[in-house]
Protein backbone atom coordinates (compact mmCIF):
# COMPACT_ATOMS: atom_id res chain seq x y z
CA UNK A 1 0.00 0.00 0.00
CA UNK A 2 1.60 3.26 -1.16
CA UNK A 3 2.54 5.71 1.57
CA UNK A 4 1.12 9.23 1.28
CA UNK A 5 3.53 12.07 1.99
CA UNK A 6 2.61 14.87 4.39
CA UNK A 7 4.45 18.12 5.10
CA UNK A 8 4.47 20.32 8.22
CA UNK A 9 3.18 17.42 10.29
CA UNK A 10 4.16 19.21 13.51
CA UNK A 11 2.73 17.70 16.67
CA UNK A 12 0.41 15.34 14.78
CA UNK A 13 3.22 13.05 13.74
CA UNK A 14 3.71 11.03 10.57
CA UNK A 15 2.66 7.69 12.09
CA UNK A 16 -0.68 9.01 13.28
CA UNK A 17 -1.36 10.59 9.88
CA UNK A 18 -0.63 7.31 8.09
CA UNK A 19 -3.01 5.53 10.46
CA UNK A 20 -5.67 8.05 9.48
CA UNK A 21 -5.02 7.39 5.78
CA UNK A 22 -5.34 3.67 6.43
CA UNK A 23 -8.61 4.33 8.27
CA UNK A 24 -10.01 6.19 5.24
CA UNK A 25 -8.87 3.42 2.89
CA UNK A 26 -9.96 0.40 4.85
CA UNK A 27 -12.70 1.50 7.23
CA UNK A 28 -14.36 4.17 5.09
CA UNK A 29 -13.60 2.44 1.75
CA UNK A 30 -12.91 5.77 0.07
CA UNK A 31 -11.94 5.79 -3.59
CA UNK A 32 -8.51 7.01 -4.67
CA UNK A 33 -9.96 10.38 -5.76
CA UNK A 34 -11.86 10.92 -2.49
CA UNK A 35 -8.85 9.88 -0.43
CA UNK A 36 -6.63 12.29 -2.36
CA UNK A 37 -9.08 15.14 -1.70
CA UNK A 38 -9.20 14.38 2.05
CA UNK A 39 -5.40 14.30 2.27
CA UNK A 40 -5.02 17.62 0.43
CA UNK A 41 -7.61 19.26 2.66
CA UNK A 42 -5.98 17.90 5.82
CA UNK A 43 -2.64 19.31 4.65
CA UNK A 44 -4.22 22.78 4.69
CA UNK A 45 -5.07 22.28 8.37
CA UNK A 46 -1.54 21.02 9.14
CA UNK A 47 -0.06 24.08 7.43
CA UNK A 48 -2.31 26.32 9.53
CA UNK A 49 -1.25 24.57 12.74
CA UNK A 50 2.39 24.97 11.76
CA UNK A 51 2.03 28.69 10.96
CA UNK A 52 0.10 29.42 14.17
CA UNK A 53 2.14 27.14 16.45
CA UNK A 54 -0.96 25.16 17.47
CA UNK A 55 -0.88 21.66 18.97
CA UNK A 56 -3.64 19.59 17.33
CA UNK A 57 -4.65 18.19 20.74
CA UNK A 58 -5.17 21.66 22.20
CA UNK A 59 -6.94 23.37 19.31
CA UNK A 60 -10.08 25.28 20.29
CA UNK A 61 -13.33 25.92 18.46
CA UNK A 62 -12.36 29.61 18.13
CA UNK A 63 -9.09 28.64 16.45
CA UNK A 64 -10.90 26.36 14.01
CA UNK A 65 -13.38 29.16 13.27
CA UNK A 66 -10.37 31.39 12.56
CA UNK A 67 -9.01 28.71 10.23
CA UNK A 68 -12.31 28.74 8.32
CA UNK A 69 -12.42 32.54 8.22
CA UNK A 70 -8.84 32.67 6.91
CA UNK A 71 -9.78 30.45 3.98
CA UNK A 72 -12.75 32.67 3.16
CA UNK A 73 -10.47 35.75 3.31
CA UNK A 74 -8.14 34.02 0.84
CA UNK A 75 -11.01 33.84 -1.63
CA UNK A 76 -11.76 30.12 -1.29
CA UNK A 77 -15.41 29.49 -2.15
CA UNK A 78 -17.91 28.61 0.55
CA UNK A 79 -18.45 25.22 -1.11
CA UNK A 80 -14.72 24.42 -0.94
CA UNK A 81 -14.47 25.66 2.66
CA UNK A 82 -17.42 23.47 3.65
CA UNK A 83 -15.71 20.48 2.02
CA UNK A 84 -12.42 21.18 3.80
CA UNK A 85 -14.16 21.50 7.16
CA UNK A 86 -15.93 18.21 6.51
CA UNK A 87 -12.49 16.64 6.22
CA UNK A 88 -11.40 18.33 9.46
CA UNK A 89 -14.39 16.82 11.26
CA UNK A 90 -13.54 13.42 9.82
CA UNK A 91 -9.97 13.69 11.13
CA UNK A 92 -11.12 14.57 14.63
CA UNK A 93 -13.70 11.81 14.66
CA UNK A 94 -10.86 9.45 13.87
CA UNK A 95 -8.79 10.90 16.74
CA UNK A 96 -11.73 10.31 19.07
CA UNK A 97 -12.05 6.70 17.89
CA UNK A 98 -8.33 6.21 18.48
CA UNK A 99 -8.62 7.87 21.91
CA UNK A 100 -5.95 10.37 20.94
CA UNK A 101 -8.13 13.20 22.27
CA UNK A 102 -10.78 13.36 24.99
CA UNK A 103 -13.14 15.89 23.40
CA UNK A 104 -13.96 16.76 19.80
CA UNK A 105 -13.29 20.48 19.06
CA UNK A 106 -15.22 20.25 15.78
CA UNK A 107 -18.51 19.27 17.43
CA UNK A 108 -19.91 22.82 17.14
CA UNK A 109 -17.86 23.84 14.10
CA UNK A 110 -20.16 25.40 11.51
CA UNK A 111 -19.58 25.45 7.78
CA UNK A 112 -20.22 28.63 5.76
CA UNK A 113 -23.59 28.74 4.08
CA UNK A 114 -23.33 27.51 0.52
CA UNK A 115 -24.77 29.61 -2.25
CA UNK A 116 -27.55 27.64 -3.89
CA UNK A 117 -26.86 27.06 -7.56
CA UNK A 118 -28.85 24.71 -9.72
CA UNK A 119 -26.73 22.62 -12.08
CA UNK A 120 -27.25 23.16 -15.79
CA UNK A 121 -29.59 20.73 -17.52
CA UNK A 122 -29.47 19.79 -21.18
CA UNK A 123 -32.66 19.51 -23.20
CA UNK A 124 -33.16 16.42 -25.34
CA UNK A 125 -32.50 18.61 -28.37
CA UNK A 126 -29.19 19.77 -26.88
CA UNK A 127 -28.12 16.18 -26.23
CA UNK A 128 -28.91 15.44 -29.89
CA UNK A 129 -26.98 18.54 -30.97
CA UNK A 130 -23.92 17.39 -29.00
CA UNK A 131 -24.10 13.93 -30.52
CA UNK A 132 -24.44 15.43 -34.00
CA UNK A 133 -21.01 17.03 -33.56
CA UNK A 134 -19.31 13.63 -33.24
CA UNK A 135 -17.32 12.93 -36.37
CA UNK A 136 -18.40 9.38 -37.20
CA UNK A 137 -15.72 9.12 -39.89
CA UNK A 138 -13.04 9.13 -37.18
CA UNK A 139 -11.99 5.88 -35.53
CA UNK A 140 -13.18 7.25 -32.16
CA UNK A 141 -16.60 8.30 -33.50
CA UNK A 142 -18.66 5.23 -32.55
CA UNK A 143 -16.92 4.97 -29.18
CA UNK A 144 -17.67 8.62 -28.38
CA UNK A 145 -21.31 8.25 -29.41
CA UNK A 146 -21.66 5.18 -27.18
CA UNK A 147 -20.09 7.13 -24.31
CA UNK A 148 -22.51 10.07 -24.58
CA UNK A 149 -25.49 7.74 -24.89
CA UNK A 150 -24.38 5.73 -21.85
CA UNK A 151 -23.85 8.85 -19.74
CA UNK A 152 -27.26 10.20 -20.66
CA UNK A 153 -29.22 6.93 -20.69
CA UNK A 154 -27.83 5.55 -17.42
CA UNK A 155 -26.96 8.68 -15.38
CA UNK A 156 -23.44 7.48 -14.57
CA UNK A 157 -20.73 9.41 -12.77
CA UNK A 158 -17.66 10.04 -14.92
CA UNK A 159 -15.58 7.72 -12.71
CA UNK A 160 -18.20 4.99 -13.14
CA UNK A 161 -18.12 5.40 -16.93
CA UNK A 162 -14.31 5.18 -16.98
CA UNK A 163 -14.43 2.06 -14.80
CA UNK A 164 -17.29 0.37 -16.71
CA UNK A 165 -16.31 -3.28 -17.27
CA UNK A 166 -17.34 -5.54 -20.14
CA UNK A 167 -18.03 -8.29 -17.64
CA UNK A 168 -20.64 -6.03 -16.01
CA UNK A 169 -22.58 -5.42 -19.24
CA UNK A 170 -25.79 -7.47 -19.57
CA UNK A 171 -27.61 -6.27 -22.73
CA UNK A 172 -29.98 -9.25 -22.84
CA UNK A 173 -31.24 -8.45 -19.33
CA UNK A 174 -31.17 -4.68 -19.97
CA UNK A 175 -28.87 -3.90 -17.03
CA UNK A 176 -25.31 -2.87 -16.26
CA UNK A 177 -23.53 -3.45 -12.96
CA UNK A 178 -21.80 -0.38 -11.56
CA UNK A 179 -19.31 0.02 -8.74
CA UNK A 180 -20.00 3.50 -7.33
CA UNK A 181 -18.71 5.60 -4.48
CA UNK A 182 -17.25 3.64 -1.60
CA UNK A 183 -17.13 0.62 -3.93
CA UNK A 184 -20.89 0.24 -3.51
CA UNK A 185 -22.46 -1.91 -6.21
CA UNK A 186 -25.76 -1.30 -7.97
CA UNK A 187 -27.64 -2.49 -11.03
CA UNK A 188 -28.60 0.25 -13.48
CA UNK A 189 -31.17 -0.19 -16.27
CA UNK A 190 -29.91 0.54 -19.78
CA UNK A 191 -32.18 1.38 -22.70
CA UNK A 192 -32.26 0.04 -26.26
CA UNK A 193 -30.60 3.10 -27.83
CA UNK A 194 -27.57 2.91 -25.54
CA UNK A 195 -27.32 -0.86 -26.03
CA UNK A 196 -27.32 -0.41 -29.80
CA UNK A 197 -24.50 2.17 -29.71
CA UNK A 198 -22.42 0.09 -27.28
CA UNK A 199 -22.83 -3.03 -29.41
CA UNK A 200 -21.68 -1.15 -32.50
CA UNK A 201 -18.65 0.06 -30.55
CA UNK A 202 -17.96 -3.51 -29.37
CA UNK A 203 -17.74 -4.64 -33.00
CA UNK A 204 -15.01 -2.06 -33.55
CA UNK A 205 -13.36 -2.76 -30.20
CA UNK A 206 -13.04 -6.45 -31.05
CA UNK A 207 -10.65 -5.47 -33.86
CA UNK A 208 -8.24 -3.67 -31.51
CA UNK A 209 -4.83 -5.33 -31.30
CA UNK A 210 -3.11 -2.98 -28.85
CA UNK A 211 -5.09 -3.45 -25.62
CA UNK A 212 -2.67 -3.20 -22.70
CA UNK A 213 -2.46 -5.96 -20.10
CA UNK A 214 -4.84 -5.28 -17.22
CA UNK A 215 -7.20 -3.20 -19.37
CA UNK A 216 -8.87 -6.00 -21.34
CA UNK A 217 -12.12 -5.84 -19.35
CA UNK A 218 -12.70 -2.07 -19.59
CA UNK A 219 -15.50 -1.26 -22.02
CA UNK A 220 -14.27 2.13 -23.25
CA UNK A 221 -10.63 2.28 -24.32
CA UNK A 222 -8.19 4.75 -25.82
CA UNK A 223 -7.65 3.61 -29.40
CA UNK A 224 -4.14 5.02 -29.36
CA UNK A 225 -2.91 3.74 -25.99
CA UNK A 226 -5.07 0.65 -25.53
CA UNK A 227 -5.89 1.64 -21.95
CA UNK A 228 -9.08 2.66 -20.18
CA UNK A 229 -10.16 6.24 -20.69
CA UNK A 230 -9.24 8.89 -18.14
CA UNK A 231 -11.61 11.38 -16.54
CA UNK A 232 -9.72 14.24 -18.18
CA UNK A 233 -10.21 12.72 -21.64
CA UNK A 234 -13.98 12.62 -21.09
CA UNK A 235 -14.12 16.17 -19.73
CA UNK A 236 -12.21 17.52 -22.74
CA UNK A 237 -14.33 15.52 -25.21
CA UNK A 238 -17.63 16.72 -23.75
CA UNK A 239 -16.47 20.36 -23.57
CA UNK A 240 -15.33 20.35 -27.19
CA UNK A 241 -18.54 18.74 -28.46
CA UNK A 242 -20.70 21.23 -26.52
CA UNK A 243 -18.72 24.17 -27.86
CA UNK A 244 -19.03 22.93 -31.44
CA UNK A 245 -22.79 22.51 -30.88
CA UNK A 246 -22.98 26.16 -29.82
CA UNK A 247 -24.12 25.35 -26.29
CA UNK A 248 -23.02 28.05 -23.83
CA UNK A 249 -24.07 26.26 -20.64
CA UNK A 250 -21.40 25.00 -18.24
CA UNK A 251 -21.18 21.45 -19.57
CA UNK A 252 -19.30 18.48 -18.14
CA UNK A 253 -19.90 14.70 -18.12
CA UNK A 254 -21.86 15.22 -14.89
CA UNK A 255 -24.35 17.39 -16.83
CA UNK A 256 -25.64 14.26 -18.57
CA UNK A 257 -26.17 12.58 -15.19
CA UNK A 258 -28.19 15.53 -13.91
CA UNK A 259 -30.13 15.73 -17.18
CA UNK A 260 -30.91 12.01 -16.92
CA UNK A 261 -32.43 12.48 -13.46
CA UNK A 262 -34.27 15.70 -14.37
CA UNK A 263 -35.83 14.27 -17.53
CA UNK A 264 -36.98 11.14 -15.71
CA UNK A 265 -38.51 13.21 -12.93
CA UNK A 266 -40.23 15.54 -15.40
CA UNK A 267 -41.56 12.48 -17.22
CA UNK A 268 -43.22 11.24 -14.03
CA UNK A 269 -40.74 8.63 -12.79
CA UNK A 270 -40.72 7.75 -9.10
CA UNK A 271 -38.23 9.93 -7.20
CA UNK A 272 -36.97 7.09 -5.02
CA UNK A 273 -36.40 4.96 -8.11
CA UNK A 274 -34.32 7.77 -9.63
CA UNK A 275 -32.26 8.08 -6.46
CA UNK A 276 -31.65 4.34 -6.45
CA UNK A 277 -30.53 4.37 -10.07
CA UNK A 278 -28.14 7.24 -9.37
CA UNK A 279 -26.68 5.36 -6.42
CA UNK A 280 -27.06 8.21 -3.94
CA UNK A 281 -25.64 7.15 -0.58
CA UNK A 282 -28.69 8.32 1.34
CA UNK A 283 -30.82 5.57 -0.19
CA UNK A 284 -28.22 3.04 -1.37
CA UNK A 285 -29.31 0.52 1.23
CA UNK A 286 -30.82 -2.95 1.18
CA UNK A 287 -34.04 -1.57 2.63
CA UNK A 288 -34.64 0.59 -0.43
CA UNK A 289 -34.16 -2.30 -2.83
CA UNK A 290 -36.76 -4.33 -0.97
CA UNK A 291 -39.31 -1.64 -1.93
CA UNK A 292 -38.15 -1.10 -5.50
CA UNK A 293 -37.37 -4.32 -7.32
CA UNK A 294 -35.11 -4.53 -10.35
CA UNK A 295 -37.90 -4.99 -12.87
CA UNK A 296 -39.59 -1.85 -11.58
CA UNK A 297 -36.35 0.15 -11.80
CA UNK A 298 -35.97 -0.83 -15.44
CA UNK A 299 -39.63 -0.09 -16.13
CA UNK A 300 -39.18 3.46 -14.77
CA UNK A 301 -36.43 4.10 -17.31
CA UNK A 302 -38.23 2.45 -20.22
CA UNK A 303 -41.44 4.36 -19.56
CA UNK A 304 -40.10 7.82 -18.71
CA UNK A 305 -36.68 8.40 -20.29
CA UNK A 306 -37.12 10.46 -23.52
CA UNK A 307 -34.58 8.30 -25.37
CA UNK A 308 -36.68 5.19 -24.86
CA UNK A 309 -39.98 6.93 -25.63
CA UNK A 310 -38.58 8.10 -28.98
CA UNK A 311 -37.07 4.69 -29.70
CA UNK A 312 -40.43 2.99 -29.14
CA UNK A 313 -42.19 5.47 -31.41
CA UNK A 314 -39.68 4.95 -34.23
CA UNK A 315 -39.50 1.18 -33.99
CA UNK A 316 -43.09 0.48 -33.03
CA UNK A 317 -42.27 -1.21 -29.73
The residue from 30, 92, 152, 157 that is catalytic is 157
Instruction: State pLDDT tens for residues 15-27.
Output: 888 899 888 888 8
Sorted by where each starts, the structural domains of the chain and their CATH numbers stand as: 14-97 (1.10.150.130), 124-315 (1.10.443.10)
170 is catalytic: no
209 is catalytic: no
117 is catalytic: no
DSSP 205-231: HTT---PPTT-TTBSSB-TTT-SBPPH
The pLDDT of residue 53: 87
Reading phi first (left if > 0) and then psi (alpha if -120 to 50, else beta), residue 84 is in alpha
Instruction: State pLDDT tens for residues 55-69.
Output: 888 899 989 988 888
The residue from 66, 177, 254, 312 that is catalytic is 254
- The residue that leads in pLDDT, 289 or 155, is 155
Task: Say yes or no to pLDDT of 282 above 60.
Answer: no
Prediction pTM value: 0.59
Distance (Å) of CA 141 to CA 77, 133, 134, 157, 200: 38, 10, 6, 21, 11
The pLDDT of residue 283: 40
Instruction: State pLDDT tens for residues 108-135.
Output: 888 776 555 556 889 999 999 999 999 9
The pLDDT of residue 288: 30
315 is catalytic: no
Instruction: State pLDDT tens for residues 135-173.
Output: 999 999 999 999 999 999 999 999 999 999 999 999 999
Task: Say yes or no to pLDDT of 263 above 50.
Answer: yes
Amino acid sequence: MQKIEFHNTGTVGEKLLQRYVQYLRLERSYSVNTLDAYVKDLQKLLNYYSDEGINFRDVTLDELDHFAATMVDLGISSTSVARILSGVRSFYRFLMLEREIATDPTELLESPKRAKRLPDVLSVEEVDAIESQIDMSRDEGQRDLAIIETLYSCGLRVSELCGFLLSNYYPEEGFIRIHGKGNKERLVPIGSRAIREINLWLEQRSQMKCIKAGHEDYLFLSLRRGTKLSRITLFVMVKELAERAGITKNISPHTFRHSFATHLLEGGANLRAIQAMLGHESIATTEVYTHIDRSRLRQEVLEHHPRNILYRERHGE
